[in-house]
């Protein structure tokens, strides 16, 4: 089970997204949430992470990128971003990272 990466923020709203089973291990899925596009990744370790869906370089669909336990690779120009911090490892602006968790019922949720 994943836990939020940040303390609860009363200004944020929790959004139910899907069942954990809807995101295969090692893959990502895109969601429209609260007027934002986000990409949710299920790492092979089971940890679930949510970041902005578009690469800041050229708007590449990050949910379609390759991931490992540490980074996502944008499928357009191969820019890489740390999944925990959003920091670019290839010189691009950072991604927004959103607290994401899996509840006891197996539902994935994100805070925006």
At 72-108, the pLDDT tens digits run 999 999 999 999 999 999 999 999 999 999 999 999 9
The two structure tokens encoding residue 19: 């069942």
**39, 52 Cβ separation under 8 angstroms:** yes
Question: Cα separation of 97 and 40, whole Å?
Answer: 10
How much helix, strand and coil, in percent to the nearest 5, is found in the chain?
5, 40, 55
In this predicted model, what pLDDT tens digit does every residue of 27-45 receive, in sequence order?
999 999 989 999 999 999 9
| CATH number for the domain whose boundaries are 27-111 | 2.102.10.10
Predicted confidence band of residue 11 (pLDDT cuts 50, 70, 90): confident
- At residue 4, the pLDDT reads 38
- At residue 10, the pLDDT reads 72
- At residue 6, the pLDDT reads 47
- Mean pLDDT, the chain, as a whole number? 92
- At residue 7, the pLDDT reads 52
**Region 52-70 average pLDDT:** 97
Q: Residue 36, exposed/middle/buried by CB under 10 A (0-12, 13-18, 19+)?
A: middle
């Amino acid at each position: 089970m994943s836990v939020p990466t940040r303390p609860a923020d009363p200004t944020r709203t929790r959004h139910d997204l899907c069942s954990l089973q809807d995101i295969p291990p090692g893959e990502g899925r895109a969601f429209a949430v609260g007027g934002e596009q986000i990409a949710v990744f299920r790492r092979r370790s089971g940890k679930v992470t949510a970041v902005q869906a578009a690469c800041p370089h050229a708007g590449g669909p990050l949910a379609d990128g390759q991931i490992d336990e540490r980074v996502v690779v944008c499928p357009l120009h191969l820019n890489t971003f740390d999944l925990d911090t959003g920091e670019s490892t290839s010189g691009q602006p950072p991604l927004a990272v959103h607290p994401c968790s899996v509840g006891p019922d197996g539902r994935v949720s994100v805070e925006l």
